[in-house]
Amino acid sequence: MSTQPEPTPMYTSALAAVGEGPPMRAFTDRDHPNALKLKAAHDAFKAGDLDALFGLMTPDLVWHMPGNNALSGNFVGREAIMGSFAQLQAHVDAYWAWPLDYFGSDNHVVLVARVQASRGDKRLDVLECLLWRVDGEGKFAEVWHMALDEKAWDAFFAI
C-alpha cells in the first residue's frame, strides 16, 4: 500500500490579502515577456495553482532569503521552498504582499512589492524586491528576496 505525501501547506487565512493594495501600473506592449511570466507566476500562487507556478520554474530553483532571522536561508526545489513559506505562515498572524511593479529582461526579472505583516502587537511595513534569474530555456532558476529595510525585517522575524 503506497501512501501519498502530505500536501504542502498553501496560503492560510494569515496570508490572505485584506482590502485593496497599492495600485500597480498597467502592463503595456513594452513590458518584457519575462515580466509578464513572473506576473503569471504570482497570479498562479495567489490562486493556489502550484503546478502552474512551479511549471514556470526549474525543478532545482534556489530561493535565497537573506538576513539574520527565522526565515533566512537558501531553499532548493519545490518542497524546500514551500516549507519556507510554511515557516513564514508560522511566524505571522497576518501577511500581505502587494506587487507594485515588474521589470524584465532576457536574463532577469525584478518584482517590487509592499509587504505588511502582523504578529501580536508587532507590525511590519516594508518594500521588498525579488530578483529572479531566468535560465536559457526561459524558466525561473534562482531568486534573491530582499527586504529594503532588512533591519525591520530581521526584527520582525527574529529567531
Cell digits for 150?
532588512
Half-sphere exposure of 54 (CA within 13 A, CB side): 16
What is the assigned CATH class of domain 40-156?
alpha beta
Q: 88-133, pLDDT tens digit by residue?
A: 999 999 998 889 999 999 999 999 999 999 999 999 999 999 999 9
Looking at residue 23, what is its pLDDT?
79
Cell, residue 62: 534556489
Starting at the earlier edge strand, list the strands of the sheet with 108-119.
Answer: 73-76, 57-65, 140-147, 122-134, 108-119, 94-104
Per the DSSP assignment, residues forming a β-bridge with 99 are 113
Count of H-run helices and E-run strands, the chain: 4, 6
Domain ranges of the chain: 40-156
Tens-place pLDDT, residues 7-31: 444 444 445 455 567 778 888 999 9
Q: 14: which 3 cell numbers?
A: 494569515
